[in-house]
A = this chain, B = another copy of it.
């Protein structure tokens, strides 16, 4: 087994860079909207574009950002490309945020 237990914070500069890269990918409201939508299943780019209400090229860029840090995976079927969460446990981050925002003091 690894030397680090659950909840051990990242330690090396590389760890901090890797962690901040994921947070950076999630630091945009439109990308967060996309991740939230994909929590209930895969969607094609056209659907996601309608959801966020921006230019399709912009949405495509946001999807690339999320895919490049390992949050999303994509699969082409015909002319469409379907995006989905690579690991659904990513949504647990939202639980932590809810807890963070909810608890007083």
Interface, chain A (partner B; CB < 8 A): 2, 4, 6-11, 13, 16-20, 22-24, 26-33, 36, 39, 70, 87, 89-103, 105
Residues of B within 8 A of A87 (CB): 100, 103, 105
Q: Contacts A20-B26, A20-B27, A32-B19: A93 and B98 contacting too (C-beta < 8 A)?
A: no
Contact of A98 among B6, B20, B98 (CB under 8 A): B6
Identical subunits present? 2
| A6 CB, nearest partner CB in chain B, Å | 6
**4 interchain residue pairs of minimum CB distance:** A24-B27, A23-B26, A16-B29, A7-B95
Q: Which chain B residue has the least Cβ–Cβ distance from A8?
A: B98
